[in-house]
A and B are shown apart, each in its own frame.
Chain A
Amino acid sequence: MVSKPSAAPGRKAVYRYGYRRSRDQDARAAVRHPVIVVGAGPVGLTAAIDLALRGVPVVLLDDADRIGEGSRGICWSKRTLEIFDRLGVGERLVAQGVTWKLGKVFLGGEQVYSFDLLPEDGHKMPAFINLQQYAVEKELVERAGEIDGIDLRWKNKVTAVERRNDAVRLTVETPDGAYTLDADWLIAADGARSSIRALLGLDFSGVTFEDKFLIADIRMAADLPTERRFWFDPPFHFGQSALMHRQPSNVWRIDLQLGRDADAQEEQRPENVIARLKRMLGEREFSLEWVSLYRFNCCRLERFVHGRIVFAGDSAHQVSPFGARGANSGVQDAENLSWKLAAVLNGEAGEGLIENYETERAQAADENIAHSTRSTDFIAPRSAAERRLRNAVLHLAPQAEFARRMVNSGRLSVASVYDTPLSTPDEAAFKGSAKLGAPVPDAVMRTRAGENKFLLEQLSGGFELIHVKNGARPDAPEGIKLTTIGEDLHDAEGMFMQRFDATPGATYLLRPDQHLAARWRNFDAAKVSAARARILAP
């Protein structure tokens, strides 16, 4: 998402942090750090926390000293929440957020389609929560402060980047003047208008959609159901589309399509915004929290990895917001990169593993861009002829299932399934919802102590071998934690058996990011070792 934020009612600081002078600023020569992350948004903070928890110290630089409000991410997907949970903030965020899983699509005043994003139980994390991005950032900043090894420096703006053979040199501007830093690796998580990307002169190209959208957060005490509502051609906003979505504390996100000819200045005047919203909300009392006008881009860098500089999140790829694929994919970039970078820095893996970040996350970016482009094409047809086709789908939807399946108001973010050389191809067939290259499904398990716990909570964050007991307990190869089903954990509800298509002896190797890397019908130490080696040296 791009285009400039509005003037009114303005972008307020919600939380402010202080600049503190670092000892590095007094050093005679540039101090060298293993990892410097630029950008303390959800992506940079996720990377910093994940790396620090893996024992890699991180310097995190941000050019501001505050978390601001604004039209930014509000929908956090199940996979993102599972990552946040591993980092220690998942429960706090779910407690603050609005949990939802239902979506409804209307044509005019009539419902034509609805969806349920998590029809299955036994998952710790919900399909989605809605929570203002600043609230997520605040929790992540707090979490970062609890962890040794994260040095978060506000008001540190990178003004120059110099690529060296095995390092990156940065010039950093602060209120006390400039200083230089060296990094073995630099993670550029500095957003859609990435200054690192600009400093390197990298081309960021793709498709810009001409339609303008008005995005407003309003405060309103409304007794409406917690679901995503999307209208095509609603009676209150003729010929365009509208979206309404609940956030915590009686805040609602409203998104109104204005078409391509809308006058940005006029449309953002509060009286005009309020008039539009009144047509939608009728007599309900509301106040404007924030409003902005946007056009959407779908684009990406050709490469995310440039030597020792790695781009993650919006700096690497941008999508339209219909699908919640921006911040969610960024957090997933950060998780994908963190364990790989830690393995490289610990000497467990070669730099080829960073190239695999490129392989896996470029797949995810392409998938997100494809979905997002298709959604935007459906929501904002480019010509009268395209609009006719779109409306034909909508008019058929109430009567024909095939048309309902074509109705596209945003295909919401789900975890990517990586087609990756890190996976060991299956020797035997497996059914169930667990897929090679995908995060493993959660399940309710019973512990030795007889408590019910979620499977994902039991994972260590390293290489993990899950083995279904079938006689003696096997010895896991070095560097892999073993969990046996039927001993360490019990499949009391049968969820594991069903979701993993488990049989006695079945053995599953998980990557540190909880993705399934290999599975067998029986334990074989040599095969497990080979599968681990394949992950570390792709």
Chain B
Amino acid sequence: MPKLITASQFPQPDAAYVALVEARRGLSEAEAADLDTRLVLILANHIGDADVLNEAIALAKTAGRK
């Protein structure tokens, strides 16, 4: 039974997306990558569940495949 929630949770998904866009606006690719990495760690800890984390990693890897 998967634990990772993939159904939309934000009441305003577009606003959440824009928050992420604005966070990296004006950043170089390296700076943005640093920011994203810190975000990943912060959010992963907030979730605090290794199963959810592993499912999220698996989803992220699959989605990137061509």
Interface residues of A (CB under 8 A from B): 388-389, 391-393, 395-396, 400, 402-403, 406
In the complex, how many angstroms separate the beta carbon of A285 from the nearest chain B beta carbon?
Answer: 40
Find out whether the CB atom of A388 lies under 8 angstroms from the CB atom of B41.
no
Interface segment out of the listed B5-13, B15-23, B30-38: B30-38
Which residue of chain A has the shortest Cβ distance to B48 in the bound complex? A402
How far is it, in angstroms, between the C-alpha of A400 and the C-alpha of B39 when the chains are bound?
Answer: 12
- From 28 to 62 in chain B, residues with beta carbon under 8 angstroms from any chain A beta carbon are 33-34, 37-38, 40-42, 45
How far is it, in angstroms, between the C-alpha of A396 and the C-alpha of B40 when the chains are bound?
Answer: 12
Find out whether the CB atom of A393 lies under 8 angstroms from the CB atom of B34.
no
Find out whether the CB atom of A396 lies under 8 angstroms from the CB atom of B41.
yes
12 A-B pairs with CB atoms under 8 Å apart are A388-B33, A388-B37, A389-B41, A391-B34, A392-B40, A395-B38, A396-B38, A396-B41, A400-B45, A402-B41, A402-B45, A403-B45
A389 CB contact (under 8 Å) in B37, B42, B45: B37
How far is it, in angstroms, between the C-alpha of A400 and the C-alpha of B48 when the chains are bound?
Answer: 14
Interface residues of B: mostly helix, strand, loop or mixed? Answer: helix
Counting chain B residues whose Cβ lies within 8 A of the other chain, the interface size class is: under 10
Q: Which of B33, B34, B37, B42 has the most CB of A within 10 A?
A: B37
Which residue of chain B has the shortest Cβ distance to A401 in the bound complex? B45
Find out whether the CB atom of B45 lies under 8 angstroms from the CB atom of A392.
no
In the complex, how many angstroms separate the beta carbon of A107 from the nearest chain B beta carbon?
Answer: 14
What residues of chain B lie closer than 8 Å to A393, measured between beta carbons?
Answer: 41
- Give 14 A-B pairs besides A389-B37, A392-B37 with Cβ atoms closer than 8 angstroms: A388-B33, A388-B34, A388-B37, A389-B41, A391-B34, A392-B40, A392-B41, A395-B34, A395-B38, A396-B38, A396-B42, A400-B42, A400-B45, A402-B41
How far is it, in angstroms, between the C-alpha of A396 and the C-alpha of B43 when the chains are bound?
Answer: 12
In the complex, how many angstroms separate the beta carbon of A392 from the nearest chain B beta carbon?
Answer: 4
What residues of chain B lie closer than 8 Å to A406, measured between beta carbons?
Answer: 41
What residues of chain A lie closer than 8 Å to B38, measured between beta carbons?
Answer: 392, 395-396
How far is it, in angstroms, between the C-alpha of A333 and the C-alpha of B15 when the chains are bound?
Answer: 59
How far is it, in angstroms, between the C-alpha of A403 and the C-alpha of B34 when the chains are bound?
Answer: 15
In the complex, how many angstroms separate the beta carbon of B47 from the nearest chain A beta carbon?
Answer: 11
Which residue of chain B has the shortest Cβ distance to A389 in the bound complex? B37
In the complex, how many angstroms separate the beta carbon of B36 from the nearest chain A beta carbon?
Answer: 9
How far is it, in angstroms, between the C-alpha of A393 and the C-alpha of B41 when the chains are bound?
Answer: 7
What residues of chain B lie closer than 8 Å to A403, measured between beta carbons?
Answer: 41, 45
Nearest first, the 10 A-B pairs at minimum CB distance are A392-B37, A402-B45, A392-B38, A388-B37, A389-B37, A392-B41, A396-B38, A388-B33, A396-B41, A393-B41
